């Protein structure tokens, strides 16, 4: 049973709130290949959707008992920690997911699994917790170098890859990307990746605390409190086209009809005042904002923030100073809007979580900046 955190600002960097995973656990990861080419083709929504599908598939394969699965969206990939009794199920799900991504979505996807025992042997701890929003709505949060190391190993070494194989991909029924890009309320969207140096989490925590003094991250949440979210009545054809590719050919028309009808009802109720019968769209919008993953930890913080130009400049100056002092490495990217991919388990039971990114693959662009800094000098 993984422990839970509820207040990101006060609890996320407290190691006592995390479990150190046993050596029989595994880290599972998925990563889109060729993100540069896909971004140039304007296919950022497909990339985000495949990354969301990786979360959905791994979460379904891990199951929700006794706890929700500890999974995390990364913009162009995803990661999860897998208990020993679910390793085979997750391996099969990843194999089918990679096949589906390549053949149905035309998005190449690397998938793999790394045993925690191997990470521990190399000096990489895996500390995991659930950021718990109640009612089985949760995201994974990860401290230590184990999870980012597992992702790097999977990308670099075929030994940790899961071979692709055609099969049923679990968990995709509730995945959608119908929301239009969400414009910022305060200025522009800033995606930030901060990694520790020598696993010094205390230094990263101090840097994040200083960032919070520039702008509280809760105040800079890209979806705000949900009041400015406007459900679409008729989703764009392109976005519907992405969503329907999660089913077999025989089921795609039914999925399309459900998507169109569901969006129409939600959008029209919003326009009619926000509440009709048992459907409370204002409550739903508040929960969408609350359960968005704009703050997370995968070794270090990954943030999507709505900031002013002045806050942006001060944040970059802070991070540059800390990097020059040898405390952190960082990457950042700016976007004109926030994109959102949704995973709805049961709408009527208030089971839904939401994955955000900066428009144009902001997380990926921030990671490119970070990787370029870490390249050995020629």
Q: Tens digits of per-residue pLDDT, 202-256? A: 999 999 999 999 999 999 999 999 999 999 999 999 999 999 888 767 788 888 8
pLDDT of residue 66: 63
Q: How far apart are CA 71 and CA 86, in angstroms?
A: 14
State both tokens at 149.
């190391």
Q: Which residue has the tokens 């990563």?
A: 31
The three state secondary structure string of the chain is CCCEECCHHHHCCCHHHCEECCCCCEEEEEEECCHHHHHHCCCHHHHHHHHHHHHHHHHHHHCCCCCCCCEEECCCEEEEEECHHHHHHHHHHHHHHHHHHHHCCCCCEEEEEEEHHHHHHCCCCCEEEEEECCCCCEEEEEECCHHHHHHHHHHHCHHHECCCCCCCCCCHHHEECCCCCECCCCCEEEEEEEEECCCCHHHHHHHHHHHHHHCCCCCCCCCCCCCCCCCCCCCCHHHHHHHHHHCCHHHHHHHHHHHHHHHHHHHHHHHCCCEECCEEHHHHHHHHHHCECCEEEECEEEEEEEECHHHHHHHHHHHHHHHHCCCEEEEEEEECCEEEEEEEEEHHHCEEEEEEEECCCHHHHHHHHHHHHHCCCC
pLDDT of residue 36: 87
Residue 289, CA atoms < 13 Å, CB-side half-sphere: 22
- From the centroid of its chain, how far is CA 364? 12
Q: Which residue positions in the chain have pLDDT lower than 50?
A: none
């Amino acid at each position: 049973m993984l422990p839970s955190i509820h207040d990101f600002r006060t609890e996320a960097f407290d190691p006592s709130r995390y479990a150190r995973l046993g050596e029989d656990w595994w880290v599972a990861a998925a990563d889109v290949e060729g993100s540069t080419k896909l971004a140039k083709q304007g296919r950022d929504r497909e990339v985000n959707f495949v990354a969301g599908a990786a979360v959905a598939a791994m979460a379904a394969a891990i199951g929700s008992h006794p706890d929700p699965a500890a999974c995390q969206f990364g913009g162009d990939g995803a990661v999860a920690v897998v208990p020993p009794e679910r390793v085979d199920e997750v391996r099969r799900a990843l194999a089918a997911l990679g096949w589906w991504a390549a053949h149905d979505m035309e998005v190449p996807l690397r998938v793999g699994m790394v045993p925690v025992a191997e990470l521990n042997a190399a000096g990489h701890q895996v500390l995991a917790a659930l950021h718990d929003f109640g009612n089985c709505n949760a995201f994974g949060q990860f401290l230590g170098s184990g999870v980012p190391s597992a992702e790097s190993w999977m990308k670099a070494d075929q030994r940790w890859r899961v071979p692709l194989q055609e099969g049923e991909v679990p968990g995709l029924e509730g995945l959608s990307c119908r929301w239009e890009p969400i414009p910022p309320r305060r200025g522009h969207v800033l995606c930030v990746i901060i990694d520790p140096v020598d696993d010094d989490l205390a230094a990263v925590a101090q840097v994040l605390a200083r960032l919070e003094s520039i702008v509280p991250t809760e105040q800079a949440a890209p979806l705000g409190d949900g009041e400015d979210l406007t459900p679409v009545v008729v989703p764009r054809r392109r976005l519907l086209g992405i969503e329907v590719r999660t089913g077999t050919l025989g089921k795609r028309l039914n999925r399309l009809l459900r998507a169109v009808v569901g969006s129409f009802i939600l959008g029209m109720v919003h326009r009619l005042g926000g509440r009709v019968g048992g459907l409370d769209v204002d409550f739903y919008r508040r929960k969408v904002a609350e359960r968005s993953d704009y703050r997370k930890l995968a070794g270090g913080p990954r943030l999507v923030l709505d900031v002013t130009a002045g806050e942006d400049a001060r944040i970059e100056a802070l991070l540059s100073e800390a990097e020059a002092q040898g405390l952190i490495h960082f990457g950042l990217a700016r976007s004109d809007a926030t994109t959102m991919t949704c995973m709805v388990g049961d709408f009527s039971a208030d089971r839904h979580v939401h994955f955000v990114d900066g428009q144009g693959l902001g997380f990926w662009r921030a990671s490119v900046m970070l990787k370029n800094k870490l390249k050995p000098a020629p």
